[in-house]
Amino acid sequence: MNEKFEKILAGKCSRENLDKLKAVPNEALHSLVSSYVEHCSPDSVFVRSSSPEDTEYIRKKSVERGEEQKLATEGHTAHFDGYRDQARDKEHTCILLPPDVELGAGIKTADLQEGLKEVKGFLKDSMKGKEMLVGFFCLGPENSEFSILAVQITDSCYVMHSEDMLVRNGYEEFKKRENTDFLKFIHSAGKLDGSVSAEVDKRRVYIDINGNTVYSANTQYAGNTVGLKKLAMRLTIKKASQEGWLTEHMFVMGVKGPQGRTSYFTGAYPSACGKTATAMIEGESIVGDDIAYLRKINGRIMAVNVERGLFGIIADVNEKDVPVIWKALTTPGEVIFSNVLVADGKPYWLGDGREIPEKGVNYSGQWHKGKTDENGKELTHSHKNARFTVRIKNLDNSDELADAPSGVPVKGIIYGGRDSDTCVPVEEAFDWNHGILTKGATLESETTAATLGKEGVRTFNLMANLDFISIPVGKYITNNCKFADGVESPPGIFSVNYFLKDKNGEYLNGMHDKKIWLKWMELRVNGEAGARRTPTGFIPLYEDLKELFSRYLGKDYSPEDYNIQFTVRVPENLTKLDRIEKIYRERIPDTPEKLFNSLNSQRERLEAAAEKYGDYITPEKFEKI
């Protein structure tokens, strides 16, 4: 270690903690830690290695400092963010860029020098009276070509504890790689009111993609502070673009097929479109629920889960609908609950199916039934964005290859949206480019009256990744199209829509029907199911679905159900094409011409079919393949 760095660190580190830093042969790391010791002025520094003792230290300190509280079930704790710090702060989350660089519409950016000056101003002396925590992490499995190393510096034990549960420990990897590059995450909760951030009006989350650094200040909510989740995506999307691989907002799961076969799928769904429910379908297996790295290896597309844990929305997790997660959250084991109601040492949340206690402690402090906010609005007992954090290995459906260094072979990619009147429940693209351009790049999510007060507003969100893209959108689409080049047998690309309704506003699919769509997709990617060719893609044959519904759900699937679900709705499809084309032409000037060509070809096929069969075309009109 450089003598200058050692002198700075020795004043704040115990001999044991200094030795842990010196064991890492990386001068850039030593420079980073010493510079923020000087800038943030902590009273002391704790360095988290790979030892169980260091992990336990963080857990205990989080409880001692009031950042978490123990619950009645062994291993369970509860964390509360400040009342005004309950979600990702999109307004103050920016990518920092020099003046001569632009990423295009839809990507929030700010001036690099101005942003750094502001956030570093907030970080200055922010750790006085506190302990700085330094943690080492590995995005992706260890000992893998997927691995990306990262360091988190924070003054929050809750943040470090969350990182430990969500991301693989990288200390030993750092020790093996001399002067390796790494991602950097700097966080301070700032001034505290009790154990929560007091100055959320100064909350900032700034991403310096050229410096591979994320800065976060005056917040504790994990979406703003646990850097190695969504914040790291901005850094690795750029890295992937430069190196020829993909960072995607996707689950990775195994779907069981005949004779014990497992086929692996990735899936990208905007919020509230069924992503977690799909990844957790009973009888299938999960590799990861949120972020995937995809690489081409020996002529195949392979994927890994970037993380090792889940930070999930807990609302509506109940024993009937999500039994795997319910079991993990109601049995002994390490779980962090955030912003739920705690009463008599037990956590309660929205939609858990249990009787709500009369009173307890929640995100608003002491709570009782009928409590209102400053505007007279009644406060729910648990926040709608309340969360749980748990390791995937604690789930009964954890896949045996969840930590495989080589990843899993991707047989299919799913794009899931929410719309009430346009897309069929499941459909396969004609080929890779058709799937990327007409399914991934046209993805939308339809709002509901229950959540936003106005039903039917469609929000554009290509690949469910628009919030996290750190390169020009046109470049991102082109990268996805080119990614299958050189792949012997590209994965099939599918779209799903669990929210199609009839004329009376009733859903046409049952809650568990998504299992059947998965089973059909699994057969298709293995060449074991037929289809009909429509203007927008391949749809299932009735006889295949009838057999699958009977086998897996014990349900009789009628021809009437099939016809109404898989009718091609030409006017609605044409309206969607117009809507999507308008977005690209007005907001995304670097859109590749191939996208417009693909949309136009789809429009021509739809118009030709309507001229022949009418506006609403039942499946039997289309040829079998």
Measured CA to CA in angstroms, residue 573 lies from 603, 606, 616 at distances of 8, 8, 11
149 and 253 in a common domain: no
Cα 411–413–417 angle (5° rounding)? 155
**pLDDT value of position 292:** 98
Question: How many independent structural domains does the chain possess?
Answer: 3
A 10 A CB-CB count for 264 gives 24
Cα 135–140–145 angle (5° rounding)? 115
Judge whether residue 124 has pLDDT over 70: yes
Per cent of the chain over pLDDT 90 is 92
Among candidate residues 138, 273, 423, 481, the one labeled active-site is 273
pTM: 0.94
- Of the listed ranges 4-18, 97-111, 239-253, 448-462, the one predicted with least confidence: 448-462
* pLDDT tens digits, 405-428: 999 999 999 999 999 999 999 999
Rounded mean pLDDT, 452-480: 87
Per cent of the chain over pLDDT 70 is 99
Judge whether residue 620 has pLDDT over 90: yes
Rounded mean pLDDT, 436-442: 98
361 and 434 in a common domain: no
Residue listed under structure tokens 């709500």: 356
User: Is residue 448 very low, low, confident or very high in pLDDT (cuts 50, 70, 90)?
Assistant: low
Rounded mean pLDDT, 188-197: 94
Judge whether residue 235 has pLDDT over 80: yes
The residue among 357, 374, 394 that closes a domain is 394
Judge whether residue 450 has pLDDT over 70: no
The residue among 199, 227, 244 that closes a domain is 244
364 and 265 in a common domain: no
Instruction: Retrieve residue 336's tokens.
Output: 């962090």
Judge whether residue 452 has pLDDT over 50: no
**pLDDT value of position 246:** 98
The residue among 394, 412, 427 that closes a domain is 394
Judge whether residue 529 has pLDDT over 90: yes
41 and 141 in a common domain: yes
Task: Read off the CATH number of the domain in which 47 is found.
Answer: 3.40.449.10
Domain span holding position 390: 311-394
45 Cβ contact partners less than 8 Å away, ≥ 6 residues apart: 9, 12, 13, 17, 33, 37, 131, 132, 133, 134
User: Is residue 451 very low, low, confident or very high in pLDDT (cuts 50, 70, 90)?
Assistant: very low
- E strand residue ranges, 72-208: 76-79, 93-97, 109-111, 131-139, 148-154, 168-169, 183-188, 192-193, 196-197, 204-208
368 and 480 in a common domain: no
Task: Read off the CATH number of the domain in which 340 is found.
Answer: 2.170.8.10
Whether residue 273 lies in the annotated active site? yes
